[in-house]
Structure 1
Amino acid sequence: MQPEGEKPKKKYAASFQTEWLQHDNFKDWIVKVDDSLARCKYCNSTFTVKHDGVKAVRRHKENAAHIRASRTVHQSAAMTSFFAKKSTPEMLRVAAIEVSNVYHAVMHQHSYMSTDCGMKLISATIEDAALVKKLHCGRTKAECIVENVLGPKSVENVVLALGGRSTEKVPFSIATDASNKGNRKMFPVAVRYFDADLGVQEKLLDFYELPSETAVAISNSLLKTVTDLGLSVENIVAYTADNAAVNYGVRNSVFQFLKQQKSSIVKANCFCHVLHNAARNGWFNRKYDVAYLVHKVYTEFSRSTLKNEKLRECFDELGMQYRAVINHGNTRWLSLFPAVERLLQLWPAIKSYFLELGEEQTDEMIWNFIGDQADEATGDTTEKISVPECYLYFVHHYMQLFHETISILERKHSVSPHLHTFMCSLREKLVNRVDNRFFGANVLSGLKHLPESQRASFTTDALQMYNWAIAHLGKWYDFENSQLKEFTAFDLDRESDELTVDHVSKVASNLAIEVDVDGLFDELCLVKKFVPEVRTSDLPLDEKWVQLLKSIRSRILVKVVSAVFAIPVSNAFVERVFSLMGNVWTDNRNHMLSSLVKA
C-alpha cells in the first residue's frame, strides 16, 4: 500500500526508439515489434518498453538468460557462413570449379561416387586454400549439375547451331537405332550438320526409352523430339539407321513415314553395315567356317587357366611370344578381321596345342582345320600350306578389303562426296580378283602344292565368295543411278570433276533447296579461282569447304554444300553412343535413370 501522506509516483508512457537499433550495446540483438514491444534475437523472447523505456532494454541485457544466450551465439557460427554468398565473384568461382569437375568426370566416364570422393579429398588435402574449403559437390549435386545444367546446355547449343526458331535454318540429317539395356530398349537421336565455321558436326539431341520398336512408334518419337526442340521437319535432309526393314521397308517403315512429312528426304543407308554383311555372310563353305573357328578357339582358352598354361608351353617350344586369342562380335563391324589376323599370328602354336591334344578332345570345327596334319611334323607352314589353311589365309585377305573400307567410312570426316569413290574402288578390287583369280599371296603359294581337284574346289568356293560380295554391293548401292553419285562433284580432291551451274542446280532441286541461279554462277566462278589453293592443304574435305566458302563469301552455294555434307555415309556416331552408354551404364551403376544417362 501507498504510505499515508506520500503522493503516488506518476508513470509516463514510453515507446520504442529507433536509435536503439544503431546503439552499440543493443543493435546486434534488439528488434522492433511495435511502439511498445521489442524482441531479442538471442533469447528469441519479447519484452515491453512501454513503462521503462531504455531501462527495460538495459534490464533485459543484464538478465542472466540473455547473457547465456549471447555467449552461445558468439561461440557458434551461423549455418550461412558455410555457404558462399550469392551473386559474388567468390560464388561464381566456386560454381565454375564444381561444374568443371563434374564435366571432367562425365567426359572421362567417372562414377558420381568417385567425383564425390575426389572433391572431399581435395578439400581435405589442400588446407591453405580458402576457396577449396567452400567446394561441396557430392554425388547428388553432381548428378543434378549433369542433368539440369550440362545436358540441357549441350542440347541448347545444338539447337542454336541448327537455327532453332530463327529464320536462318541449317539442314541436318537425323539418325537413330535401338539397343537393349537389360529388358529396356533405348533409342538415341543424333543429328549431323555442316557448320560454316567448323565443318561437319555430329551431336546427340535426345536419348529415350521406347518399349515399342514399330515404325510408327519410332517415327513419331523422332518427329516429337524435333518439334519439341523448335526444329523444323522441313530442314531434315536425310534419315540414317541400320538397314533393317523397320527402318527402310518399302511400305511400313520409318523412312516412308518421314517421307510423308517431307518427300525429298534422302535414304542414307549405313554402308558400314552393308560392307560388314558382305564380308561376314558371303562364306558358304560350312566345313571351313573361319568365323566359327575363331569363336571356338577363343572359347577353348577364355575360361581355363590350365589350358592357357599349356598353350604358353607351346609358344615357348616354338620360340614365339605369347599373345591372347581374341573373339569377334557378330554385329561389330571391325572385330572379325583383327580376330582372324591374331589367329594367323598365333596359328603355329595353336595348331601344335590341338595336335598334341588329339582328335577326341578337340572340337570338330577346329579339327577340320588341322586334322590333315596330325601325322606330319609341325615345321615351316609357309612353304606348304594345307587346304584348310588356304581357306584361313583367303578369308583374312578377303576381310582386309572390307576392313580397310569400313575403317574409312566410319570416320567423322568421311562425307557423302566420298562414298561413290569408295564403293567403286572396293567393287573394282573384287572384280579384278575375280578376273585374275587372285586370292592373296599366301594362298597362291599354298595352291601350288595341292592336287588339281583340291585347287579347283577351293577356287570355286573363293570365286563364289567374291561374286556374292559384288552382287550384295550392287543390291544396296546403285552404282549407276544413286543420288549419292551426284555428290562426287563436291569432292575438291578430284581434279577430273568440276562443279557446274547445271549440276549444282540439279542437286539443289533434288534436295528441295531453292537457289538463285544467277548468284550461283558468280560464286562458282570464284570457286574455280580458289580451288587450286584449297586443294594443296591437308585439311579434311569438309574443312576445305569451310575455307573455300569463307574465301568466296558464299550466300547461295553454302546452302547446297550444307545439305550435301549433312548426309552421312554410316551410322557410326549412333554406334559410338551405344558404346558410351555401355561404359557409363554398367551393372555396377544400374540405378541410373535414363534421363541421367542421356545428359
Structure 2
Amino acid sequence: MEEREVSATRTAKKRKCSYNKDWETIYPWVKPVQGESGEYDVKRHRQCETHKKRVAQKEVSQSMHTFLLKPKQDSNVDKVTAAELTSVYHTVKHSLSYRSEDCGNKLTSAIFPDSEIAKKMSCGRTKAASLVTDVLAPASVESCDKKAHTPFFSVASDASNHGTTKTLPTVFEILDTKAGLKSKILDFYEDSHESAATIHCQITSKLEENGLQLDMISAYTADNASVNYGKNNSVFQKLKADNSGIIKANCVAHIVHNCAKHAGDMLNVDIDSVVNKIFSHFSVSAQRTEELKEVFAFVEEDYHVVRRHVPTRWLSLWPAVQRLHDSWAAIKSYFLSLGENQCPKALWKLLKTDQDGEGQPLELQAYLAFLNNILKIFHDVVLLLEAGFPDQKAATIKHDFSNFYKTALNYLEKWYDFTDNNYQKNVRCLALKSSFTFSQLSDAVEVLQIGSKLDMDELYEEYCVTLPRQQEIVERKAPVVEKWALCLKAQKHQI
C-alpha cells in the first residue's frame, strides 16, 4: 500500500500557473514577471506587512506624473523648457550658485503671478545641475565644432585648485572674422596628479572626439610650469612629437610676474608679508579702522582703505604697495603710537628706529618708494637715501636694489629668448603695427612650418588683394585681432 502511494506521488504532475490579465483589475499593483506564481501567491503577498506599508505610503504621496508637463495637455511646454534653460544659462554665465537659481525661480512665480510660464517653471539645484551637464555643455561643445571652420587653431590648458580638487580645462582658440579671437572650452575635468602624460592624453583624445586634427594645431598655450614646458618630459614636448609645427606660446605676462616675484624674494624686506600684516591688522577690527581715520585727519590727509595682496592675483601687489606708499605718514604714525607692546613685532622691527617721532628715514619707506615706482627710482629713492642715512646703511640698500635688478634680468634671460632664433622676431609682421611685404609674410610661413599646408601662389594673390587697404588697417587704433578681421573681410569683398 505504501509503495502505491509513493508511486502515485512521483507520477503526479505539478500544475503550471500563468499570468492572468484579469488580475490587474482586482490587484492594480500587480505586474507580469518571469516565473510560475499563481493567484494564491498574489493574495499571500497582499496580506504581508511590507505590502500594506507601501500601500499606505502611496496613499499620502503624489505621483511623479503630477510634476511633469504633458505636451498634449499644455501648449506652453516648450516655452517653459526654454525659460528654464535660459535661467540656468544666466546662472552659469554670471557664476551664480544653483541655490540662487532655485530661489530665483520661486521668486519669479511670485513676482509674475499672471504668467502661466512663470507658474510652471520648476528648476531646483539638482535639475539645474543636470541641465548644465547634460544639455548646455554638449550644446556648447557642438557649437565649437561648427565654428571651427578655420583649419588652424591653438590649444590651451591650465590647472586650478577648488578646495582639495584640482580641475583642468581644455580650451581651443580660433580666429573668427566676425567675432574676432574666440576661446571655446572642450572639456573641464578633474586630475589630482596633473602629470604631462595625462594632460597630453586628455588634449589629444578630446580633439579626436570633436573631429579636430592634431596636425592643425598652431600653438600650445599654458603657464610656465615645468609640467607644461619642461625640456624633457612636458606637455609641449609630447605635442611637439605629434606635430613638429607647434610653437611655444607660453604666457609672457606670467614670466614678467614671476620675474618681479623672484627678484623680490632677494630683497631684505619681505614686502608681501608687510602688506598682508598691515591689512590683517585693520580688516578684523572696526575700532582700529576708526583710530586710523583719526590719524589721517590729524596729519591732514584723506583716508584711504588699506588694500590687500592676494598671491594668486598678479595685479594686487602694486596697488597695495602704492596705497601704503601714498598713506605712509598716517600709517607709520598709527603703528608708532601703539608702542612696542601693542604693535605687531614684525612691523615694529621695521619702525622702531623712528619711535621717537623725529621723522628719520626708514628702510621700509625706501623699499616702498622703490617698489611703488621702480621707473622713478632715481627720483624718489635717491631723495630718501640722501635724507640722512648713514653711508654704510645707504650703501647696503643700494646694493640690495642693484641685486633686485640683476636677479630680474637673469630671470628674464633664462625664460625668454632674446636671440634671433626666437620665432616671434620673424612673425612680428603679423602684429600689423606697420605695412609688411610678401617676403616678410613668407618668412613667417617658413618659421611657423606651415608652408606644406598652404598654396603660396594663392597666398600671394590674397596678399595683393589686401594691399589697397593695408595701410588704412595698420593705422587703426584697434587690437590686432580686429585688424586681421577687417583685413580678411576686405579680402572677401574683393574676391
Q: Is the counterpart of residue 171 in structure 1 residue 171 in structure 2?
A: no
Partner of 1:548: 487
- Is contact 1:190–1:206 with CA below 8 Å preserved after alignment? yes
- Give the drift of 1:363: 3.8
Which amino acid is 2:385 matched to? L
Q: Pairwise mapping of residues 38-57 of structure 1 onto structure 2 (< 5 A)?
A: none
- What does residue 470 of structure 1 align with? 409
Residue 489 in structure 1 maps to residue 429 in structure 2: yes
Give, in angstroms, the shift of residue 548 of structure 1: 1.0
One of 217, 232, 244 as aligned partner of 2:213:
232
1:160 to 141, 146, 149: 146
* Corresponding residue number in structure 1 for 2:118: 132
Q: Distance in 1 between matches of 2:410 and 2:305?
A: 36
Corresponding residue for residue 91 of structure 1: 77
1:110 aligned counterpart, secondary structure: coil
Q: Is the 8 A contact 1:191 1:204 kept in 2?
A: yes
Whose helix proportion is higher, 1 or 2? Answer: 2
Cα 1:285/1:154, change in 2 over 3 Å: closer
Which of 182, 195, 204 is the equivalent residue of 2:176? 195
| Deviation (angstroms), 1:80 | 7.5
Instruction: Please tell me whether the aligned partners of residues 505 and 515 of structure 1 are also in contact (alpha carbons under 8 angstroms).
Output: no
Match of residue 438 from structure 2: 501
Shift of residue 545 of structure 1?
Answer: 0.9
Q: 1:445 aligns with which of 379, 383, 394?
A: 383
Alignment correspondent of 1:510: 447
SS of residue paired to 1:439: helix
Cα distance in 2, alignment partners of residues 269 and 120 from structure 1: 46
Q: Does 1:374 align with 2:312?
A: no
Match of 1:525 among 457, 464, 479: 464
What's the offset of the Cα at 1:207? 0.7
Partner-residue secondary structure (3-state), 2:219? strand
Match of 1:117? Answer: 103
* Inter-partner Cα distance in structure 1 for 2:74 and 2:460: 56
Note the C-alpha offset of 1:239.
1.5
User: How many angstroms does 1:334 deviate by?
Assistant: 0.9
Structure 1 pair 389–132 and aligned structure 2 pair: CA distance change class (3 A): closer
Q: Quote the offset at 1:225 in angstroms.
A: 1.9
Which whole-Å deviations, capped at 9, do the CAs of 1:166-211 have from their partners, x for residues lacking one? Answer: xxx5322212122222332211112222112221112221111112
Partner Cα separation in structure 1 for residue 379 and residue 209 of structure 2: 57
With over 3 angstroms needed to count, the CA separation of the structure-2 counterparts of 1:531 and 1:501, relative to structure 1, is closer
Q: Hey, what's the Cα distance between the residues in 1 that align with 2:364 and 2:85?
A: 59
Q: Which moved more, 1:233-242 or 1:312-321?
A: 312-321
Q: Percent identity?
A: 37
- Structure 1 303/123 Cα, relative in aligned 2: closer, same or farther at 3 Å? closer
The correspondence for 1:341, drawn from 304, 307, 322, is 322
Q: Give, in whole Å, the separation in 2 of the partners of 1:344 and 1:282.
A: 20
Aligned in 2, Cα 1:439/1:231: closer, same or farther, shift over 3 Å? same
- Select the structure with the greater relative contact order (CA < 8 A; seq sep ≥ 6): 1
Cα distance change of structure 1 residues 87 and 129 upon mapping to structure 2, 3 Å threshold: closer
Give 5+ residue unaligned stretches, structure 2.
Answer: 1-21, 29-64
**SS, match of residue 278 in structure 2:** helix
1:479 aligns with 2:418: yes
Correspondence for 1:142: 128
- Conserved? CA contact 2:267–2:401, under 8 Å: no
2: CA distance, partners of 1:555 / 1:141: 51
Q: Distance in 2 between matches of 1:138 and 1:305?
A: 39
CA offset at residue 551 of structure 1?
Answer: 0.7
* Contact kept? 2:195, 2:227, Cα under 8 Å: yes
Does the C-alpha gap of structure 1 residues 123 and 288 become closer, same or farther in structure 2, counting only changes over 3 Å? closer
Superposed counterparts of 1:312-331, under 5 Å: 312-331=293-312
- Name the Cα RMSD after superposition: 3.1
Distance 1:87 1:469, change over 3 A: farther
